[in-house]
Amino acid sequence: MEFSAKIIAQYLNGQVEGDENVTVSSVSKIESGKKGTLTFLSNLKYTQYIYDTEASIVLVNKDFKPEKPVKPTLIRVDNAYECLARLLQLYQQSIPQPQGIEQPSYVSQGVEIPQDIYLGAFSYIGKGVKLGKNVKIYPQCYIGDNVEIGDNVMLYSGVKIYQGCVLGNNIIVHAGTVIGSDGFGFAPQADGAYYKIPQIGNVIIEDNVELGANVTIDRSTMGSTIIHKGVKLDNLCHVAHNCEIGENTVMAAQCGLAGSTVIGKNTMAGGQCGFAGHMTLPDNCKFGGKTGVSHKLKDTGVYIGYPAVPQMQFFKSHISLKKLPDMEKELQNLQNEIEELKKHK
State the Rg of the chain over Cα: 27
Residue 167 to residues 130, 215, 227: CA-CA distances in angstroms?
10, 15, 10
Q: Which of 174, 228, 238, 241 is catalytic?
A: 241
Q: What is the DSSP letter of 51?
A: G
User: Is 48 in contact with 102 (CB distance < 8 Å)?
Assistant: no
Check if 241 is active-site: yes
Q: How far apart are CA 85 and CA 81, in angstroms?
A: 6
CA dihedral 307, 214, 212, 227 (to 10 degrees): -70
Q: How far apart are CA 283 and CA 202, in angstroms?
A: 25
Regarding beta strands 73-77 and 15-17, do their DSSP bridges make them parallel or antiparallel, or are they unpaired?
Answer: antiparallel
307 prior amide bond cis, ω within 30: yes
Residue 204's SS3 state is: strand
Residue 85's SS3 state is: helix
| Residue numbers annotated as active site | 241
